A and B are shown apart, each in its own frame.
Chain A
């Protein structure tokens, strides 16, 4: 009995020891996986942002940095339909669904320690909707009738009508401090020092901007979310030469680059395969797509009608002369079928892009691959269509003719974008195989976007658009923007107008999807554009960062959650 007791006690002791050891291991593991404060991240960027004032910023880079210094009322989720709280801790719709009531956090302070209140939201809305400011997101606020603040922690947005993106429209835009900007006129705000010395409510506080060198942000000690952010510093290091970014990533002089070109991304990929690399590579659906826009009217006739038509009356569209080549949908289809987009994607973009066929980019929630009309690569069929359209090579010079007219046109693209310059050359070669003569014109961007396209003095143009998160195509295809610069193909369809109006005013996402599907089908069949490819955004980041998240919203969307285990910190993390 006594012996049994001894054995039992011994067993108990062993179990206790083993379990305590195991517990210690678990605790240590937990400690390792629990976020730890400290450290920094150095992000390589190519240029200075134009400003850090959220009201005046235009580039994605500026918005990226601004997103760390400022906050919105709510931030969009990965589905691009729902939102999570930021400055507003909650919200609800009014009974008539024409208003949204936001309840604000009461423990938020501006970086200069002044308390954030609803007055800041009202003030920001006034500036955002003032054309003299020229805020880039002004169209988000089109249907907002008024904004009121019953008390310091409540804001109510009243809308003119009900539609499915009301919440997105209300929360769009970073809130700026009333106490620092209220005494300035719009032009004073434009030229004020606020843009280079911003004060926000975000997780990081602006510290210094060494022009053409670096921008330093430091941890907001009073951030309303407890313990966050974990990193002490975020430094944006400005390196205009991408070769330098590549080398500094390799040498661990910077920790991250998130607008890498496809060429350098592939080089980093090769390095990662060959040896143990400290770099983690990710690609996400980016925000850019490239396409060829076909001018649907003769350039000279557009200039005449545009100059004589003071009120820009769309009834005058009837006076326009259809383009000698591209007014025929069958011709546009033939050209689309003769362009091997897969080849361009592989050669120019190293496979780091997706072929697209219609106007809805893959990041938008209403993207539906089955809705679009797909024009497969088929040069033989393209030749047949052109023959049926009367284009025949009668003189044997390998260029098609119709009467006195030769199938020859100029295609413009902007200088400085090597991908597009290469793509134009490949397209020139591909179309020459079906008897179409293409003359590439590579011109300065301001000349192309400021003159050639708005005045429609072109035949075809290979360019690209950056995509916002809101589903909205009006400036590109709706007849109410027909005479606007970016509606440069001259696409006009009353049916399209109806479909987009219905899609934008639908009360539910499901209902709007129906109309977006029809729009996808219609535009991909009628082809005012030949859609080419949608680029991936290429990201390289040091493996030591934990909790990183990259999705369609961007590469630094959750930087306040990033952390570095103590054991993996570098010497420079202490500075």
Chain B
């Protein structure tokens, strides 16, 4: 198969899968080509979109090997004006706190998170599970075998991360580091 044909097939697949995105593995199975070749071709499309100023689309790379077709971010203000646009509420700062704790400390139990925040988190956990940003990954060995949670691929997509390694480093919890609370 010619490269042109492969590229056009991948582009179509990116469109079909939409929000869900396409992984390199899927492309490699779909076209019976190597992962490396899949990546080359998809990156080619990504660059093509980026360069083409007449094109309203771009590709977001997330979770290391997944790609998603989205509208160009710089155009967003125009789309937001559309009356019929479905809106998703942004996460509250409380939800973001819970998500950050899970992202850094996961797998963790709800009690672990509540202990750090000092607040009951039932409702937030429920909402984050509904939005598929966290998922149950097993049971802790503690009394009562509480459920352990971790962040999901959807989380990586939402925050445009390839992996949790891209998270900013947390300050060391060194109790002798007296400066950390004096910075403002």
Q: Do A and B bind each other?
A: no
Contact surface of B with A, Cβ cutoff 8 Å: none
Contact surface of A with B, Cβ cutoff 8 Å: none
